[in-house]
Structure 1
Amino acid sequence: MASSVWVGERVRLRGREPEDWEAFHAFDEDSEAVRNGWRLEPPRSVARAKKETTEDAEKEWDLDEFSLVIVTKQDDAPVGSINTHTVDRLHGTFSYGIAVGTPHHRKGYASEAIVLVLRYMFYERRFQKAEAWVYSSNEASLALHRRLGFVEEGRRRRSRYANGRYDDEVLFGMTVEEYTERYA
């Protein structure tokens, strides 16, 4: 039986499909979850959500900078997304972002998706370090990154304003050696 580096015990990572618009449009209804991931924006119309999802599905991705949908292995239902960005091929570093819809929190989907992407970036693309920025008010994500073995490397104080308050951005990092020690 063939295996894929994009499949874990609970989730599978795949490209975005036009029909994913409905799940992601619904996830955007939870303002606090949206704030934890990036920034709150005015509501999008269904037409715009469909158009943007279709455009994302048709976009050409680079081998190192990409966005994937996190789906459950059980029923292939979208539960979130993970993307890589801020790729520095010279120094071998990259960052990633992850968002999981509120109904799917605390089921292990985020941690498994992160481990799968790190394995690809470290072992297939030869990167040596992953970085993630987490807002200081996002206690769940702070705990997740610590649990996964990320090291807190720094903090940008009062660098984001949301919901009437300023948040610090906490920088987490993990080297390929740290990943290998924990997950190989």
Structure 2
Amino acid sequence: MPGASIQSGERVTLRTVEREDVPFVQRSLTNPELRYPIGNPVMSRKRLEEHVEDEDSDHFLVCLDGSEAESNQPDVTITDFDWKRPELGYWLVPEVHGQGYGTEAVSIVIDYAFRTYDTPAIGAEAFDFNDASRGLLESLGFAEEGRRRKYMFIDGEHRDMIQYGLLREEWVERE
């Protein structure tokens, strides 16, 4: 059962990720359709529980239309936010790709981060081959800020990581 409700949009509700959500998250992250595009290694349940309970990060489960944890799970990571800008990370189960849920969920998370933390910007990264993720970020106003060349070996090839940033004033102007 997902945790406390943080904020709702038209079709999604942001909830805190709780320890009992870890099996769903672990099952989803072992799916090659997700794991390869985001580049995450397979984690043990214990390691994933430690990640979810990290006090320097905010983790959210996004529930669709009042559903439970079996929908999708974007994650926002706010690490060292007192001296470094928050870094946004997210993923959705393949069954809901291309339906606009990611855009709505990430928008809610951006609002949350700017409301909660006194940060001038939010960062995000996407692999060069992940057109869907790059398109989502760019549609929300993120600007490409850099490229880490041959950053990670994924599925038999070294891939570039594209770095993005969104300034608070850019987000406010969009709204």
State yes or no: 1:66 paired with 2:58: yes
Contact 1:16 1:53 in 2 (8 A): no
Structure 2's unaligned 5+ residue stretches are none
Could you list the per-position Cα deviations for residues 39-76 of structure 1 after superposition, in whole angstroms to 9, with x for gaps in the alignment? 343xx7xxx64x5666666x3635xx211111113323
Query: What's the offset of the Cα at 1:154?
Result: 0.9
Contact 2:62 2:105 in 1 (8 A): yes
State yes or no: 1:80 paired with 2:97: no
Q: TM-score, normalised by structure 2?
A: 0.83
Q: 2:130 aligns with which of 105, 113, 138?
A: 138
Counterparts of residues 20-169 of structure 1 (less than 5 Å) = 20-41=21-42, 49=45, 59=53, 61-62=55-56, 65-77=57-69, 78-90=71-83, 93-169=85-161
Secondary structure (helix, strand or coil) at the match of 1:87 reads coil
Q: Distance in 2 between matches of 1:29 and 1:124?
A: 31
Query: What's the offset of the Cα at 1:118?
Result: 1.3
- Report the structure number with the largest CA radius of gyration: 1
Query: What's the offset of the Cα at 1:111?
Result: 1.5
Percent of residue pairs bearing the same amino acid type: 28
Q: Distance in 2 between matches of 1:145 and 1:27?
A: 22
Contact 2:128 2:159 in 1 (8 A): yes
Q: Distance in 1 between matches of 2:23 and 2:143?
A: 36
Query: What's the offset of the Cα at 1:114?
Result: 1.5
The RMSD of aligned alpha carbons is 2.4
